[in-house]
């Protein structure tokens, strides 16, 4: 089964203003496909509602058409399929601190280096860290260190499309999606779903709520016992957007928590 990656391919880095203007345009026909190469890509939270200003201060928008979260003041956690591999990279513009991408209060930073999950080959292990050229004075999003948070309802947010084949968004949207067990997700996706590395969420049998094109790399998160947000997943792939029989597939963050921490240390944070 083809994996529909939930990002919009960008060939060059763009300014925050240019990205904001682009975000209002229909999804590109040249959007990236999954490894099997026959999926379309959509770009926003489907079935979502506008986020309140400052509700998710750890959210960032990346200039290639992906989302991300603030892992540390100078590090962004995103999906491996959003970037072009590990090494020096000054092509990615990070926009943070606002819900409206055209807001004059937006904070921007530039990438300096990228580290992609060791062994990433397009199947599973879909995470990456982006080092940026300055520290952001914004809250970071803690990551889950074990599987205890891999249940219940999760929040997702992004500037991606609000329908399959729809338009990018200028303003941040949010939605709630319930956990989908591995057996159900495996039934939908077969061997394409890697239960040891991925976690699924969505309204099975109903559809209508999902991440979509342009949301890739953004966090799936929930509250911990102290009422603080913790990241459980990274938007990765799915069959279309919000289809009844195909939940969204997310990188299972707790599986890679140790690797992410090691990579962050290697980048100097």
Question: What CATH number does the domain containing 135 carry?
Answer: 2.40.10.10
Catalytic residue among 63, 192, 216, 236: 216
DSSP summary character for residue 187: H
17 pLDDT band (50/70/90 cuts)?
very low
pLDDT at 10: 28
Confidence of residue 61 (pLDDT cuts 50, 70, 90): very high
Residue 137: count of CB within 10 angstroms of its CB: 9
8/73: higher pLDDT: 73
Q: Taking a C-beta distance cutoff of 8 angstroms, is the pair 112, 128 a contact?
A: no
For tokens 């342009």, the residue is: 214
Phi (first) and psi of residue 198, to 5 degrees: -130, 155
60, 157 Cβ separation under 8 angstroms: no
Residue 31: pLDDT band by 50, 70, 90 thresholds?
very low
Element counts in the chain: helices (H) and strands (E): 3, 16
Q: Where are the alpha helices (DSSP H) in the chain?
A: 16-22, 182-189, 257-266
Q: Which of 42, 89, 126, 215 is catalytic?
A: 126
pLDDT at residue 9 is higher than 60: no
Using CB atoms within 10 Å of the CB of residue 181, give its burial: 0 to 12 exposed, 13 to 18 middle, 19+ buried: middle
Q: Which of 209, 159, 151 has its CA nearest to residue 50?
A: 159
Residue whose tokens read 């074990």: 146
pLDDT confidence of 165, banded at 50, 70, 90?
confident
- pLDDT of 182 reads 98
- Tell me which DSSP letter residue 46 carries: B
Mean pLDDT of 138-159: 97
Are the CB atoms for 77 and 234 separated by under 8 Å?
yes
Tokens 């090494």 -> residue: 87
How far apart, in Å, are the Cα atoms of 221 and each of 36, 174, 237? 28, 11, 16
* Residue numbers of the domain that contains 71: 1-269
Mean pLDDT score of the chain:
87
Q: What's the domain count of the chain?
A: 1
**At residue 26, does pLDDT exceed 50?**
no
Distance between CA 35 and CA 32 in Å, rounded?
10
Q: What does the pLDDT average to over 129-147?
A: 98
**Max avg pLDDT among 31-35, 38-42, 103-107:** 103-107
Of the residues 42, 74, 81, 167, only one is catalytic, namely 81
148 is a catalytic site residue: no
What confidence score (pLDDT) does residue 30 get? Answer: 27
Burial level of 227, CB count in 10 A (0-12/13-18/19+)? exposed
Residue 12 has pLDDT above 50, yes or no: no
Mean pLDDT of 213-228: 96
Provide the pLDDT confidence category of residue 269 given band limits of 50, 70 and 90.
low
225 among known catalytic residues: no
CB 225 within 8 A of CB 215: no
**244, 234 Cβ separation under 8 angstroms:** no
Q: What is the per-residue burial (b if ≥16 Cβ within 10 Å, else e) of 14-52?
A: bebeebbebbeeebbeebbbbeeeebbbbbbbbbbeebe
Whether the predicted pLDDT of 20 surpasses 90 = no
What whole-number distance in Å separates Cα of residue 204 and Cα of residue 187? 11
Active-site residue flag, 224: no
Query: Hey, what are 107's tokens?
Result: 């904070």
């Amino acid at each position: 089964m083809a994996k529909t990656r939930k990002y919009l391919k960008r060939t060059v880095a763009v300014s925050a203003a240019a990205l904001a203007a682009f975000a209002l345009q229909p999804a590109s026909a040249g959007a990236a496909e999954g490894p099997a190469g026959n999926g379309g890509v959509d770009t926003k939270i489907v079935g979502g509602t506008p986020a309140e200003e400052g509700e998710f201060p750890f959210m960032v928008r990346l200039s290639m058409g992906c989302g991300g979260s603030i892992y540390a003041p100078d590090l962004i956690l995103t999906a491996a399929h959003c970037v072009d591999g590990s090494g020096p990279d000054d092509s990615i513009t990070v926009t943070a601190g606002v819900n409206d991408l055209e807001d004059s209060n937006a904070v921007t930073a530039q990438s300096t280096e990228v580290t992609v999950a060791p062994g990433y080959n397009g199947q599973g292990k879909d995470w990456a860290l982006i080092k940026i050229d300055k520290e952001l004075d914004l809250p970071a999003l803690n990551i889950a260190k074990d599987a205890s948070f891999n249940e219940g309802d999760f929040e997702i947010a992004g500037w991606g499309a609000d329908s399959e084949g729809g338009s990018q968004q200028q303003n941040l949207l949010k939605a709630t999606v319930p956990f989908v067990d591995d057996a159900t997700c495996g039934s939908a996706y077969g061997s394409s779903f890697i239960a040891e590395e991925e976690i699924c969420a969505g309204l099975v049998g109903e559809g209508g709520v999902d991440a979509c094109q342009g949301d890739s790399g953004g966090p799936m998160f929930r509250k911990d016992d102290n009422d603080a947000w913790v990241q459980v997943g990274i938007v990765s792939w799915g069959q279309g957007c919000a289809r009844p029989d195909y939940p969204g597939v997310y990188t299972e963050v707790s599986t890679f928590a140790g690797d992410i921490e090691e990579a962050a240390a290697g980048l100097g944070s």
